Chain A
Amino acid sequence: SAVISQKPSRDICQRGTSLTIQCQVDSQVTMMFWYRQQPGQSLTLIATANQGSEATYESGFVIDKFPISRPNLTFSTLTVSNMSPEDSSIYLCSVAWDRGIYEQYFGPGTRLTVT
């Protein structure tokens, strides 16, 4: 398994601003993912963060709105840009390996409220 931390744990932001969320893992991992979990709903995958290259986005999510960086095998950031109240959600980072261990491990999440 891995120990995953996220910063900030929560934030309240104004409409039109941007917030960058950090995800740090205590060991090297192959894959890092970013999810959104809206109140009372399930998890929705935003993108897969690829080390050294552009993230792979899921349908309905675009790089201009959710730019992602992954400079190394233990760290990634997700930026929520030009925020609106509809972006209020919990944002989760998860990690996985490409062999032997198939499950994903999750960080504690970042609770974002946009006013």
Chain B
Amino acid sequence: AQSVSQHNHHVILSEAASLELGCNYSYGGTVNLFWYVQYPGQHLQLLLKYFSGDPLVKGIKGFEAEFIKSKFSFNLRKPSVQWSDTAEYFCAVSNNAGNNRKLIWGLGTSLAVNP
């Protein structure tokens, strides 16, 4: 069965530190990859997505992620975090088979950025 694992459950950083959140998935076929963010008290928002093409994708608020097919990974990065990046981050994967659009979710990473 498909699964998504996020390696870091809780991350604490100081402002201006660099961020990398790991995400690995298990599925041998073509996949669509997503990072969602949930700021405190807000609903889930799409941060960035990968469907095809350039494996380095850029999202909102300075985030980027790199799809490495050989490693089944889609790690999220930001060179310099801000206090406002404090949030829960979820990696999600859907396969390209059919139109079901079902997402498999990681457990999430709670990021706290200290000012």
Once A31-B101, A48-B102, A96-B101 are accepted as A-B contacts, the answer to whether A102 and B94 lie under 8 Å apart by CB is: yes
Once A42-B107, A43-B105, A102-B94 are accepted as A-B contacts, the answer to whether A48 and B100 lie under 8 Å apart by CB is: yes
Count, A-B residue pairs, CB within 8 A = 45
B90 touches A43 (CB 8 A): yes
Task: Give Cα A45–Cα B108 distance, bound, in whole angstroms.
Answer: 15
Q: Is the interface of B mostly helix, strand, loop or mixed?
A: loop
A107 touches B107 (CB 8 A): no
Range of interface residues on A (Cβ < 8 Å): 20 to 34
Q: In B96-113, which residues have CB < 8 Å from any A CB?
A: 99-103, 105-108
Binds A, one of B20-28, B42-50, B65-73, B76-84: B42-50
A42 touches B106 (CB 8 A): yes
Task: Give Cα A41–Cα B51 distance, bound, in whole angstroms.
Answer: 26
Among candidates B34, B43, B100, B105, residue contacting A103 with C-beta atoms closer than 8 Å: B34
Task: Give Cα A107–Cα B43 distance, bound, in whole angstroms.
Answer: 7
Tell me if A67 counts as interface (CB < 8 A to partner B). Answer: no
Task: Give Cα A48–Cα B105 distance, bound, in whole angstroms.
Answer: 16
B101 touches A98 (CB 8 A): yes
Which residues of B line the A interface, CB within 8 A? Answer: 32, 34, 36, 42-46, 49, 51, 90, 94, 99-103, 105-108
Chain A to chain B contacts (Cβ below 8 Å), 6 pairs: A33-B102, A41-B108, A42-B108, A45-B103, A103-B32, A106-B43
